[in-house]
Amino acid sequence: MATDVQIAVRKVVSVNPATGAVLREIECASESEVQAAVARARTAQQEWYEAGISKRVAILRRFQHLLHEKKSEIARLITQEAGKPYVEALLTEVLVVLDAAGFLAKNAYGLLRDEAVPHGNLAMKAKAGRIMREPYGVIGIISPWNYPFSIPATESLAALVAGNAVVVKPSELTSLMALELASLLYAAGVPKDVFQVVVGDGATGAALIHSEIDKLIFTGSVQTGKRIAQAAAARLLPVVLELGGKDPMLVLDDADVEVASSGAVWGAFVNAGQACLSVERCYVHRSLYEPFLEACMSKARQLRVGDGMEAETDVGPMIHERQVRNVEAQMEDAMARGARLLIGGARVGRGASNFYAPTVLADVTHEMRIMREETFGPVLPVMAFDQDDEAVRLANDSEYGLAASVWTRDRARGEALAARIHAGTVMVNDTVSCFGISEAPHGGVKASGIGRTHGRFGLEEMVRIKYMGSDRLPGIKKIWWYGYGAAFARQMEGFLDLQFGRGLGRRVRGAMRSAGVYVRKGRV
């Protein structure tokens, strides 16, 4: 007797975090669908590369133009799916991508062209060498929900202009923005098989990792990043891992409290604190501690929490209930260990609201989870210090090392301390905005990841480096080829003295001993 077998179809649901309204349900790409996407990308990649950099740059410029024309529409879509205020979507997502497209269009040719390599070794002077930069082939990108447009876009644009094909797996919470990115790229002229989006959950991401991609760019948690690194190691898959941070802010005794407190409030609460570059630890010199706390508390009180589509909103919702619960758990631990709550510390609204009040905590210590684990929520924990050395030690007392900031009226002093902080980026008198500087590399040290995105170094991550050497005297046997012996050994000793001996006399004697090496007989 025949029976109907129903196969459960996995779906991801895009939800507006401010209202709970379902924006769209999308079926997850299966393992076979991911493999097929990568296979199509591989087939299309060679033609894309052979089209030449001029064509790819022209497409980037068209993409930039189309994005600018649709800037308001794109920003509203970001707000609907990710929750951040509309103006933040414009500034931290659309503006970043527009600038990145401009940077790549302007600089890609110069950064990707062949580079002559001079040869210092006298034995190699008859050779011409150059560095060539070739695309990997197919780049896989697994992108997060907190910046659902700017992160996959900036990474994809760099990969594409270098001649790669790209397959993006977006977060299951913000798939719509990746699909919107695809629409813009197609409209600009990128072939559909050269850029593809595979929507899905963790299983879809795993399928991409285990597919025949040539490199993986991942942005997400340390735990997931470690699992990805282990999986990639099995076949030596190159990876770039941006794994978040616990970024410290150091407010020195000569800092401008009014400016620094505004920087701290924005740095801690932008995107509801859901940024890898958020200020998550704030260390303030004891002489400024109480005035700084008062200023932060006053400014946090003025922030308006609400739907990001409302023009007056400063802080939107957190992305999901589980993110709110993580913040609540860290807050509970901090309060139990003696932290002082100055403002906030609770949800805003009724029931299981995703809105969490901007929160300022005082008297925190490194024994508290909120000073050691990534919070990813609108909490500003503040701790006092007495000496600059102590501040640097506290800043470095973390498994993370993504970014940091130093606040002082003395730029030289700030830069001197910045040099001692273990982080991929350190800003003096600003924070977070480094992500919007297209020329600046983005990435961290320690548990914050491996490799870089953005700028010259981000573009370098999208290519393989090849050295090509060509001999200018192809009809002459090389002096180092076979035909050894005692005489040749003495000649080579002299040759080394000629190049590296100390003193003119030793070098001259070395030249005389090695002179016969060029006409040495008996070479095989």
pLDDT tens for the 524 residues of the chain, in order:
444 445 567 999 999 999 999 999 999 999 999 999 999 999 999 999 999 999 999 999 999 999 999 999 999 999 999 999 999 999 999 999 999 999 999 999 999 999 999 999 988 999 999 999 999 999 999 999 999 999 999 999 999 999 999 999 999 999 999 999 999 999 999 999 999 999 999 999 999 999 999 999 999 999 999 999 999 999 999 999 999 999 999 999 999 999 999 999 999 999 999 999 999 999 999 999 999 999 999 999 999 999 999 999 999 999 999 999 999 999 999 999 999 999 999 999 866 689 999 999 999 999 999 999 999 999 999 999 999 999 999 999 999 999 999 999 999 999 999 999 999 999 999 999 999 999 999 999 999 999 999 999 999 999 999 999 999 999 888 889 999 999 999 999 999 999 999 999 999 999 999 988 878 877 88
Distance between CA atoms of 178 and 150, rounded to whole angstroms?
10
Distance between CA atoms of 115 and 355, rounded to whole angstroms?
52
Structure tokens at 304: 């308006």
Amino acid identity for residue 298 in this structure: S
Cβ neighbour number for residue 208 with a 10 Å cutoff: 24
Q: How many residues does the chain have?
A: 524
Distance between CA atoms of 80 and 82, rounded to whole angstroms?
6
Beta bridge partners of 220: none
| pTM reported for the whole predicted model | 0.95
Distance between CA atoms of 521 and 524, rounded to whole angstroms?
9
Cβ neighbour number for residue 110 with a 10 Å cutoff: 8
Distance between CA atoms of 211 and 35, rounded to whole angstroms?
6
DSSP assignment of 421-482, as one string?
Answer: S-SSEEEES--SGGGG-TTS-B--SGGGEES-BSHHHHHHTTEEEEEEEEES-TTS--TTSS
Phi, psi of 409, deg, nearest 5: -80, -10
Distance between CA atoms of 95 and 372, rounded to whole angstroms?
32
- What was the pLDDT predicted at 326? 97
Of the listed 242, 280, 373, 461, which one is catalytic?
Answer: 242
| Superfamily per CATH, domain 33-244+457-466 | Aldehyde Dehydrogenase; Chain A, domain 1 (3.40.605.10)
Active-site residue flag, 73? no
- What was the pLDDT predicted at 2? 45
Residue 210's nearest CA partner among 195, 222, 223, 227 is 227
Active-site residue flag, 242? yes
Q: Would you list the domain boundaries of the chain?
A: 33-244+457-466, 247-399+403-438, 477-519
* Helix/strand/coil for 176: helix
Distance between CA atoms of 326 and 269, rounded to whole angstroms?
16
- What was the pLDDT predicted at 9? 79
- What was the pLDDT predicted at 350? 67
Distance between CA atoms of 292 and 494, rounded to whole angstroms?
69
- What was the pLDDT predicted at 337? 98
Of the listed 93, 172, 276, 374, which one is catalytic?
Answer: 276
- What was the pLDDT predicted at 352? 64
Are β-strands 11-15 and 22-27 bridged in parallel, bridged antiparallel, or unpaired? antiparallel
247-399+403-438 — its CATH code?
A: 3.40.309.10
